[in-house]
Structure 1
């Protein structure tokens, strides 16, 4: 391990999760208040700052931390756009402020500070290389007075002036600064903080009793849903429903003619997770529903269930994605004592897990892509 010279220790940074292994979360517009214990090796004045930036930005913003006492420092920053922000703490011994504090203390004790003024020239020269041109003349005047015994009275006033103090604070010399590891905050949109969801079955949206509803039928219900204060319309799976072991009314295991089955039993000869149940409509109809919902500040959420009916196309095309029992049959889904005879589970421990994951990712991206 490479030994790095430093005089300040930074500990107990909060907020962070599991020593920074996981990112914290906020929503757009919220503040992140950061605390840290910043400890020096003596009685010198210590400065600490927060450095932060959005991951898309090239350079860090800085905010000086407030010393609350007992080595604790605090600062806040606002997160203004979605995505990841990086934040970290940097701290150092502030030699210029130590010098100014020492001069002030000695003057109060009626000590002569000629030598200390000469020592301060190095801090002024460092400052002069960083400040704006408007302040350079002021600093040059100070350098001249610090080096002249004839200007001693003027020099000591300059040395303890508030103007010089503010310049030292604004343009610090971060000698041997210690900087913490990077921490992250993920900033989500406002709706991630709070939203109100309304779930209903599109097939029940028809104004005609006994007729299968469609996405187009759903559109007429949107104003009523928005009027109740909801901002998300939550749909169950909208894919073709399996016909093998289809459930009937009241969860009976023998479906009768005309029974529509359970939407979570996904997949049939009509398609699987990437298709829409034909009686609901088309992708264009779904896009229209999403568009009309957006006009009312409603979003569409879809229950994306990674499970299959016994006649899902995947079972024929990719049988390795499903686990068979020793007798060659496939175990239907259970949540004891409940039994779901119309559903079989994906075998996520399959040797072909990469192919399975890739396909399920493609399914997810398809529906995200539709909005």
Structure 2
């Protein structure tokens, strides 16, 4: 046929609401919902063939060339296809000849970038930076797209999002919703592929790998001829103005709709439209009954699911880089191997440090608490020159192990396992055991050296020198790092890149699947771009986490060049006001590039909030981290309430970076934090709503100490066939009870408005009924939070 059409959703609204040129969707009006739908029966003169003929012959009058092409295409279709979407060619009775009707909007070919189609589609978000850096999402992660879609005059339009995989195959088609008629802004939530938890070494991962790469989403604008007609027809029938022309036009429209391949109608749906067209064209019926044939819930449902789309105008395809499982949705657990299994020698009173072999117990603990990734600080030999002592003191005692970030000694550098921890075979065995437990191993890669590192002698040009030709140690005035030499990338960046690539490939072969990069923002962005490109070309499954706390521009650039996740400023966002601003930022447009990982504490970070709010504060921050971001992490010892600060610093006293910790893990049960962590990871795995950076809504709360937010994923994108909604309410005060009224905008969240919501607290199992406004009372000695799932 001369018109090209595809699939879209619309709802019929009260005709009196919209008289402007906006793109507001129209719902079925109250009077229509109660209108009698007449029995659909053939009318006496002409029946469906005449209506179909009028719908098709007018296209030949307006464009004979396209009609001829359509006939040729139609004649080549198979019998099966013809049954699904056929074009009527019956000869009309004389009584129906000569009735004129407006031609539908044609699809106008776009032959070069920048040309508009028949419908205008602009300002699509997320937008690629200079058309070079596509937005990043995890396989199966729901995300939001928006666009401006409009047409001239008061004609109604619709919009559809079409998702295609790297091979160009359409995998998803979803209608968009106009959320701001004044700005012609349309929104849709889509996903690229289906969520998976498969790890790179597991059976079946090859099928996941084939889905990774560059996907596209195209926004198709189109004229909503049915809604435009319905708006005017309701008015004309109501005021009895030019009724016959309006209804005849509607009959032709329904007949054309029934014959449109793009609508993808079933035989039953097509029959419904054909009968409706026959009834509407029957002049023996009253105007009200004729209108009701095309203005009723059955037709409205077809418009929702299989609309007639005229003048389809596709945008330029928007690219998305689809990454493997755990690139967005991940739970990290950090421990120091030298502290796992460490003991005190009863004879000497000295600490006997742990090893890679004794670290197996740390893997067991991480798996039992439900984490996905175990992150290890550097496991390389530690330098002796200027070695740091306890609490970062400048003088190390004879038994001080030094900081694992002072990398390199006469025993080796970044490609060597510290002999005090074990051998490369021990590390491979650790990775193998982690994989058996379903854990990935992330290794810290700090690109810095102690004065004893082999590179200092082999490649002196790789380091900055003072005028007196001595190498400068690292500093960030007033901070100084006397045990570290920083790399100078200006003399031989290509040589440094080649060496780093070699070392990373060595650890990948040993079992590492993720690198946590220390301070990547202090190295050239181009350096990381080259290294990550080279490593992932050979090992596309490798992920990179940036330990970067810096300016937004640098953070965005690091994400562009391949850092999949990033540390962020979450530890310092503790008040309700701060969190209400920060959560939508992390879970908004920034989340297409910078995947923030929420860590309540790290070896370098212990905030006053965690210090001052005890067990309740630890649980509050864990809830916020686990549900506030798809990616979160815990530094071990959190379960034991290790919250004493080093005086004058936002870090722990007796910092594990400078000494070996001997912990009594049997005490964890008395605090209950480990149980909370386990519950949070279980909730996250069970609920698709927890997996996306693009579905968080902050909720109104009447108390300044109570924060509330919701995560919602529609049924079409959960993979379960059911919508998933989580409502999180947190008492931010670790010492006092707080009460608040929590307001839910049920419409905005896509929740039922005609009945109470049955919600279940995933932390306690208790059930409640919620609605628009809901009373909550939380006491830190009882419940620090509700995590409510809508049943």
- TM-score, normalised by the number of residues in structure 1: 0.75
Which protein, 1 or 2, shows the higher relative CO under an 8 Å CA cutoff with sep ≥ 6?
1
- 1:146-157 aligned at under 5 Å gives the runs none
User: Is this contact kept in 1: 2:127–2:135, CA < 8 A?
Assistant: yes
User: Is this contact kept in 1: 2:258–2:274, CA < 8 A?
Assistant: no
From 124, 129, 135, the counterpart of 2:255:
124
From 161, 175, 178, the counterpart of 1:67:
178
Residues 1:124 and 1:200: Cα distance change in structure 2 (over 3 Å): same
- Considering only aligned residues, what root-mean-square deviation do their CA atoms show, in Å? 4.4
Q: Does residue 1:353 correspond to 2:518, yes or no?
A: no
Q: Which moves more between the two structures, 14-23 or 161-170?
A: 14-23
Aligned equivalent of 1:81: 195
Q: Which moves more between the two structures, 339-348 or 227-236?
A: 227-236
Aligned equivalent of 2:158: 47
Aligned equivalent of 1:207: 343
Aligned equivalent of 2:454: 313
Question: Whole-Å Cα distance in 2 between the matches of residues 203 and 32 of structure 1?
Answer: 40
Aligned equivalent of 2:506: 366
Deviation at 1:157, TM superposition (A): 5.6
Question: Whole-Å Cα distance in 1 between the matches of residues 397 and 296 of structure 2?
Answer: 92
Residues 1:225 and 1:125: Cα distance change in structure 2 (over 3 Å): closer
5+ residue gaps, structure 1:
none
Q: Which moves more between the two structures, 25-34 or 104-113?
A: 25-34
Deviation at 1:175, TM superposition (A): 0.7
Deviation at 1:312, TM superposition (A): 2.6
- 1:212-251 aligned at under 5 Å gives the runs 212-220=353-361, 222-223=363-364, 233-243=374-384, 245-247=385-387, 249-250=389-390
Aligned equivalent of 2:413: 272
Question: Whole-Å Cα distance in 1 between the matches of residues 371 and 116 of structure 2?
Answer: 58
Q: Deviations over 1:103-137 (max 9, x none)?
A: 44333333342586268537634641413344455
Aligned equivalent of 1:289: 430
- 1:156-235 aligned at under 5 Å gives the runs 158-160=293-295, 162-164=297-299, 166-167=301-302, 170-179=306-315, 182=318, 184=320, 189=325, 192=328, 195=331, 197-202=333-338, 205-207=341-343, 209=345, 210=350, 211-220=352-361, 222-223=363-364, 233-235=374-376
- TM-score, normalised by the number of residues in structure 2: 0.39
5+ residue gaps, structure 2:
1-111, 197-211, 513-791
Residues 1:78 and 1:134: Cα distance change in structure 2 (over 3 Å): same
Structure 2 SS opposite 1:75: strand
Residues 1:39 and 1:217: Cα distance change in structure 2 (over 3 Å): same
What number of residue pairs does the alignment pair up? Answer: 369
User: Is this contact kept in 1: 2:374–2:441, CA < 8 A?
Assistant: yes
Question: Whole-Å Cα distance in 1 between the matches of residues 275 and 373 of structure 2?
Answer: 66
Deviation at 1:144, TM superposition (A): 6.9
Question: Whole-Å Cα distance in 2 between the matches of residues 46 and 22 of structure 1?
Answer: 30
Structure 1 SS opposite 2:502: helix
Q: Which moves more between the two structures, 154-163 or 59-68?
A: 154-163
Question: Whole-Å Cα distance in 2 between the matches of residues 260 and 14 of structure 1?
Answer: 51
Question: Whole-Å Cα distance in 1 between the matches of residues 133 and 353 of structure 2?
Answer: 46
User: Is this contact kept in 1: 2:163–2:171, CA < 8 A?
Assistant: yes
Residues 1:280 and 1:123: Cα distance change in structure 2 (over 3 Å): same
User: Is this contact kept in 1: 2:340–2:362, CA < 8 A?
Assistant: no
Q: Which moves more between the two structures, 294-303 or 139-148?
A: 139-148
Structure 2 SS opposite 1:175: strand
User: Is this contact kept in 1: 2:126–2:145, CA < 8 A?
Assistant: yes
Deviation at 1:181, TM superposition (A): 5.5
- 1:242-261 aligned at under 5 Å gives the runs 242-243=383-384, 245-247=385-387, 249-250=389-390, 260-261=401-402
